[in-house]
Chains A and B, each alone.
Chain A
Amino acid sequence: MDTVKLTIDNREVEVPKGTTILKAAQSMGIDIPTLCHFELEGLDIHNRPGGCRICVVEVEKRRNLAPACVTECMEGMVVKTNSIRAINARKTVLELILSDHPADCLQCAKNGRCELQDLAARFGIRENPYMGGNHVQSQYQVEVSPSIIRDMNKCVMCRRCETMCNELQTVGALSAIERGFPAVVSTAFNQHLDHSPCTFCGQCVAVCPVGALTEVDHTSKIIRAIADPTKKTVVQVAPAVRVALGEEFGMEPGTIVTGKLTAALKALGFDYVFDTDWSADLTIMEEGTELIGRLTRYLNGDKDVALPILTSCCPAWVNFFEHQFPEMRALPSTAKSPQQMFGAIAKSYFAEKINCKREDMVSVSVMPCLAKKYECSRDEFKVNGNPDVDYSISTRELARLIKLANIDFASLPEAEFDSPLGESTGAGVIFGTTGGVIEAAVRTAYEVITKKPLPKIDFEELRGLEGVRSATIDVDGLKLNIGIAHGLRNARKLLEDIKAGKCQFHAIEIMACPGGCIDGAGQPLHHGNSDIIKARWEAIYRADKEMPIRKSHENPSIQAIYKEYLGEPCGHKSHELLHTHYFDRQTTVEVDVDKK
């Protein structure tokens, strides 16, 4: 590999050609401050507009200061990252950004986690010479959607959200609009997110350095529901939460905290603490049966059968195809997501069991996701206006609740999930990462089709963090072609292949967030450190290995509910409770017939 030698802060360093000054400095332990720059290494996600100029450094023989995040190292370059000129320029840049930013840090949802606040502290900003002048501060209204709160007065135009929305997700809801002080990132015509192609994946929120994009916070509603003696509170926890929540309490990324998490939910006062892994197992029974059904019809010569079957667990992905590929909405499985399956069962089967009226039950989900907030508000998941899941809170919100309730998370003794909706398998756990849903489905489909036990449970060929993956699984002579995509740009690629008739897959798993739910937008902020995501990814498979049962159809509590309540997978009762339908939500411009 070609390398270049240069000097940074009087120390020599040799780096591969094409390395930026920022990266080279980082490799030497020199921490140049950044703001707009954002990168998730290994997941091919980067925002490098070189726009904010917080990272400027002095380069000998260069007239102006160089932005370290986009300037490549050259042979013999002499860089000073801490010269008076660089330090002063950086401070001025920060003061100018702050002059157009509200100083309501104490009431800001990002208080304590804001990258701009950190910079102000680091640079020792005590007063701002640019404040109090004639500057016009932009006045945008705070906008609340089911998942995301946008306060564009706080936008610093780093454009990270725009990159996530357009490049990672190819959703195109957000773009930089206007110029000068009113310049922000917004939707077309500044309309409400509800009227845009937004999928509520929330990746914009996950990378926003300031409080411009935050999640809708339901913590106070949860506290009220728990305190209400007339309500029974039922909580479910998604698989990816247990490998990330610990980070909020100073634990190493990748620590599995299932037992403490359960204990914390009980200490908070929830009446029943259940597991979304349980309904993930249920999802496999339904989605797996649907897959086998469609495959059998196909193999029997029915060429009209909707294949490939696409997974439908990820609500942002559902929003994506409803907006962008509505003509293909017959392909995804009709199975509801595990969150919604759980909600439907909690307010029917379980409510009957404990003799509780639907209206008296408050069903809460803890999710690594912001789109789940939107999902549970969808009309088709309500019965007479009463939602199957009343509130969906993020991993971050749960951490806030635990802190608010004076619970010392680290010293909690471990507890178990309640029965019957708390028993789960390793197949349920791996729903938390890319490739997991399809692996869980294959584990069950294999045994159902062949009626033989799996020779090996771990399908390594389905695992990994590459954006698009594929594998062929030999199911006793039947070659099952599986596709996997995470990040909606990768989903788009596969959908376009299907459209063009170039797709050889029988089944495809899609997750909207990079890495799947482990990097969902409701997870603890990773601030661009992809090692955190990798640690969570490994933890998911560790958690799977630790489970005594690792195949969904072997879950005794799942077998029991089919026996006493649901009947057959994809049967009449299942269809009523566990399946859904999709909508065409595309925006099109058509001829107005009345006006000619």
Chain B
Amino acid sequence: MDKIIIKMKKEVREKIIEICNKFNNQPGELINVLHQTQDYLGYLPAEAQELIAECLHIPTAKVYGVVSFYAFFTMTPKGKHPISVCLGTACYVRGAEKVLDAFKKELNLEVGQTTEDGEFSLTCLRCVGACGLAPVAMVGDKVYGRLAPDMIKGIVAEYK
């Protein structure tokens, strides 16, 4: 029943404290703080949430409540090449699900997971504003349009 001390790298700790300070450690800025922390780390590990809770003087459970509520926030580190498949209406009706299945099969991944070597992660999103190109997927910042399941192998190979 001793004190629980969570260890964290110095520069990570300082950066998160800096982000919290930027928002005056206001509890109402939690979502902004989480956004910027995820931008910085690529994900929101438990220790980052503990530290944010400490800085904003709110319970860690509240921070985790918000992180687990919004699909955008993730506690698993994203891969070097994050893949997002659009499941918006236009993409969906033009076969996005088959495209997603092809990615799953090619990478042997479920949605929300990252490959063991940390290279690829797979997520879904709703509409990237390129409905004319449906179905669409993004790898990093690059958009791939008019996709068909047989094109996936080639796309993944570009990054290997």
Contacts and interface: CB of A to CB of B under 8 A. Distances in A.
B68 A586 contact: no
Chain A interface size, as a band, is 20 to 34
B4 A587 contact: yes
Interface stretch (B52-60, B77-85, B93-101, B119-127): B52-60
Interface stretch (A182-190, A222-230, A518-526): A182-190
Contacts of A592: 7-10
A589 interface: yes
Contacts of B9: 591-592, 595-596
B1 interface: yes
Nearest to B59: A172
Contacts of B53: 188
Interface string B129-157: 00000000000000000000000000000
A481 interface: no
Contact of B13 (A179, A326, A584, A589): A589
A588 B68 contact: no
A196 B61 contact: yes
Contacts of B65: 175-177
Interface in A161-180: 166, 171-179
B69 A596 contact: no
Contact of A588 (B1, B3, B59, B61): B3
B62 A178 contact: no
B51 A585 contact: no
A195 interface: yes
Contact of A195 (B3, B4, B47): B4
B64 A175 contact: yes
Contacts, number: 98
A197 B62 CA distance: 13
B4 A177 contact: no
Interface in A127-175: 166, 171-175
B3 A591 contact: no
Interface in A567-596: 583-592, 595-596
Contacts of B46: 188-189
B64 A177 contact: yes
A583 B3 CA distance: 8
Given A172-B58, A172-B59, A188-B60, A583 B50 contact: no
A71 to B, nearest CB: 26
Given A177-B69, A178-B69, A583-B1, A590 B61 contact: no
A186 B61 contact: yes
A172 B62 contact: yes
Contact of A587 (B7, B50, B58): B50
A326 B10 contact: no
Contacts of B62: 166, 172, 175
B59 A197 contact: yes
B158 interface: no
Interface in B15-74: 46-47, 49-51, 53-54, 58-65, 68-69
A398 B125 CA distance: 54
A588 B2 contact: no
Contacts of B60: 172, 188-189, 587
The 8 closest A-B pairs by CB, nearest first: A172-B59, A592-B7, A175-B61, A175-B65, A188-B60, A589-B51, A587-B4, A188-B64
Interface of B: 1-10, 13, 46-47, 49-51, 53-54, 58-65, 68-69
20 contacts: A166-B62, A172-B58, A174-B61, A176-B69, A177-B65, A178-B69, A187-B61, A188-B50, A189-B64, A378-B1, A585-B2, A587-B3, A587-B6, A588-B3, A588-B4, A589-B47, A590-B5, A590-B7, A592-B9, A592-B10
